């Protein structure tokens, strides 16, 4: 209750000062909850578990201290794998020494002794690391406290994807792939209420080879789920809504190499792959991981921590955002809590680093592409009247099935080549296919079904039947109507069959609706060639 020890947040480009204010406000509310919890603990009076501390003798400490200079040198090696190999080699020597000098000791006792030596070794490693940072004001890899590792960024790393990007920060590398799909391909979220879903998804994959290991690759673990959720929250703040960009968007981050802050590399690579795919994001997003080393009342904030600085340090504070503000935060610490002063400094340093990273990302791609990849599905959105939906779908889906089959030239609507049509309850229609011509053909077929007669407009027609009182004509998509004898011609007609025959092609003008609510039509007489010439002569005179 004295200080903040964990943060999980998403924000809409919040300024650093506003974020600090929000965190402090939240902390005050937490204090009230803690009082309530302490009251329950006091009332229940449950005895605390006894913890037996591992006792490390002076003899063990002295023996481990013999490798102090070698361990210090190993900690200063810049290359990750070489550093870890050197440290492991020294630790293995100590374990071998324990085994050689305790051959007659029972196995259980020997294992306990090995644990104590390893614990002493880890304590020495912890002490040496902190001395380098706190006393020497250096970092094990030689960087300054606010220095970012070498950066590189590129797009279109993979040729056949909708969008791809490669982002590297030191020995951490993320390959991001963006895939676009139809709106109805969103991820379905099962819940107790109505069906929910999300159209933007970020998946984070952390294969074992990224840290130089091999093994079975199973279901996503806490790391994959947590890092993916953090990256998704950060990028979600700049994703356009479905009216602006009617697609389902999936971003996958493949971690190819990892030495700290792979979740933030995923955000950087993910942002660039979205832009390469032509997603009109509102702004570029970058992420950085901040660290902390404390020594009494003194503290040192580290920018862009690597694996060892996370493991042996006191804080892992991930900050992602645009040039304008913060989009996501995640913090966990190994000490009791951090103060407002430390939070403020960490966020300010994170902002400086973020702006530097954004500059490198912009050197690879400055803005979202105007055109989608040729391999991405094309989308067309338009609206029809809700009462027309049933006409487009047809009885048992007969009409819409026919549209899909004819427009796509497929037998089954489940064919991968079939055009996809999505219609919501409000009449919003989304047509999805990689071929623009098929999309246009599909729209034309739907338009022919839903379009309505326009009063005053002339339509081509065919005489289907002749009655004594007029002609039955077929016009506009098979619709039939009566042209009364009085509206067949400007001249008086005694016998309709003398002037018209079944099958004659004529033009009819839609006058409106008659008293009975039926369509009122008249035949539009074509002007004779002689009459047209005479009218032209008179006009010129």
pLDDT (tens digit per residue) in 14-27: 999 999 999 999 99
**Quick one: what percent of the chain has pLDDT higher than 70?**
97
- Coil, strand, or helix at residue 431? strand
Q: In the chain, pLDDT over 90 holds for what percent of residues? A: 70
Residue given tokens 């067949």 in the structure block: 488
Q: pLDDT for 438-481, tens place per residue? A: 999 999 999 988 888 788 889 999 999 999 999 999 987 677 89
Domains of the chain, earliest start first = 54-142 (1.10.10.400), 151-364 (3.30.230.70), 378-450 (3.30.1370.10), 458-540 (2.40.50.140)
Closest CA to 472 of 488, 459, 458: 488
The predicted structure's pLDDT at residue 529: 46
pLDDT tens string 287-302: 999 999 988 778 999 9
Cα dist. 514→413, 422, 453, 519 in Å?
Answer: 43, 37, 15, 6
Q: What are the counts of helices (DSSP H) followed by strands (DSSP E) for the chain?
A: 14, 20
Per-residue model confidence (pLDDT) at position 175:
98
> Does position 194 have pLDDT exceeding 80, yes or no?
no
Average pLDDT over the chain, rounded to an integer: 91
303-316 burial, b for 16+ CB within 10 Å, e for fewer?
A: bbbbbbbbebbbbb
Distance between CA atoms of residues 231 and 210, nearest Å: 19
Local confidence band at 485 (pLDDT 50, 70, 90 cut-offs): very high
Please give the pLDDT value at position 532.
Answer: 47
Tell me: pLDDT of 434 over 90. no
For 507, other C-beta atoms within 10 Å of its C-beta total: 15
C-alpha–C-alpha distance, residues 367 and 145, integer Å: 31
User: Which residues lie across from 318 on neighbouring strands?
Assistant: 289, 330
């Amino acid at each position: 209750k004295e200080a903040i020890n964990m943060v999980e947040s998403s924000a809409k480009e919040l300024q650093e000062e506003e974020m600090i204010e929000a965190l402090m406000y939240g902390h005050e509310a937490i204090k009230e909850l803690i009082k309530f919890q302490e009251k329950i603990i006091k009332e229940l009076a449950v005895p605390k578990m006894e913890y037996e501390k591992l006792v490390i003798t002076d003899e063990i400490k002295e023996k481990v201290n013999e490798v102090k200079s070698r361990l210090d040198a190993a900690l200063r090696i810049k290359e990750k794998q070489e550093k870890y190999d050197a440290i492991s080699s020294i630790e293995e020597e100590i374990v071998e020494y324990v085994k050689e000098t305790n051959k007659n000791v029972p196995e259980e006792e020997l294992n306990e002794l090995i644990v104590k030596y390893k614990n002493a070794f880890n304590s020495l490693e912890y002490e040496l690391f902190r001395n380098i940072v706190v006393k020497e004001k250096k970092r094990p890899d030689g960087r300054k406290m606010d220095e970012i590792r070498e950066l590189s960024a590129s797009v279109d790393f993979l040729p056949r994807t909708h969008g791809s990007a490669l982002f590297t920060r030191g020995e951490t590398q993320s390959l991001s792939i963006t895939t676009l799909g139809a709106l109805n391909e969103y991820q379905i979220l099962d819940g107790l209420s109505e069906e929910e879903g999300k159209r933007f998804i970020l998946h984070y994959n952390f294969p074992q080879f990224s840290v130089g290991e091999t093994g079975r690759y199973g279901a996503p673990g806490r790391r994959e789920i947590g890092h993916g959720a953090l990256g998704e929250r950060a990028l979600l703040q700049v994703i356009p809504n479905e009216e602006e960009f009617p697609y389902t968007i999936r971003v996958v981050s493949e971690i190819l190499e990892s030495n700290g802050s792979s979740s933030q590399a995923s955000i950087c690579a993910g942002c660039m792959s979205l832009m390469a795919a032509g997603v009109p994001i509102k702004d570029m997003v970058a992420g950085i991981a901040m660290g902390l080393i404390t020594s009494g009342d003194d503290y040192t904030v580290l920018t862009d921590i690597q694996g060892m600085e996370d493991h042996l340090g006191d804080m892992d504070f991930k900050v992602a955002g645009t040039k304008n503000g913060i989009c996501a935060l995640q913090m966990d610490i190994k000490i009791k809590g951090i103060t407002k002063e430390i939070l403020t400094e960490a966020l300010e340093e994170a902002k400086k680093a973020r702006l530097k990273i954004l500059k490198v990302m912009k050197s690879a791609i400055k803005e979202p592409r105007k055109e989608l990849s040729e391999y991405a599905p094309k989308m067309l959105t338009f609206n029809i009247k809700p009462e027309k939906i049933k006409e487009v779908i047809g009885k048992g889906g007969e009409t819409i099935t026919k549209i899909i089959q004819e427009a796509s030239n497929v037998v089954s609507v489940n064919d991968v080549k079939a055009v996809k049509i999505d219609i919501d309850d409000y009449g919003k229609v989304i047509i999805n296919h990689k071929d623009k011509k098929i999309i246009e053909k599909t729209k034309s077929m739907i338009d022919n079904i839903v379009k309505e007669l326009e009063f005053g407009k002339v339509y081509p027609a065919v005489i289907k039947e002749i009655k004594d009182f007029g002609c039955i004509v077929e016009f506009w998509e098979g619709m039939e109507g009566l042209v009364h004898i009085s509206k067949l011609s400007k001249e008086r007609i005694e016998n309709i069959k003398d002037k018209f025959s079944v099958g004659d092609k004529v033009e009819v003008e839609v006058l409106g609706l008659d008293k009975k609510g039926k369509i009122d039509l008249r035949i539009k007489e074509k002007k004779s060639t002689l009459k047209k010439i005479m009218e032209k002569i008179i006009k010129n005179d």
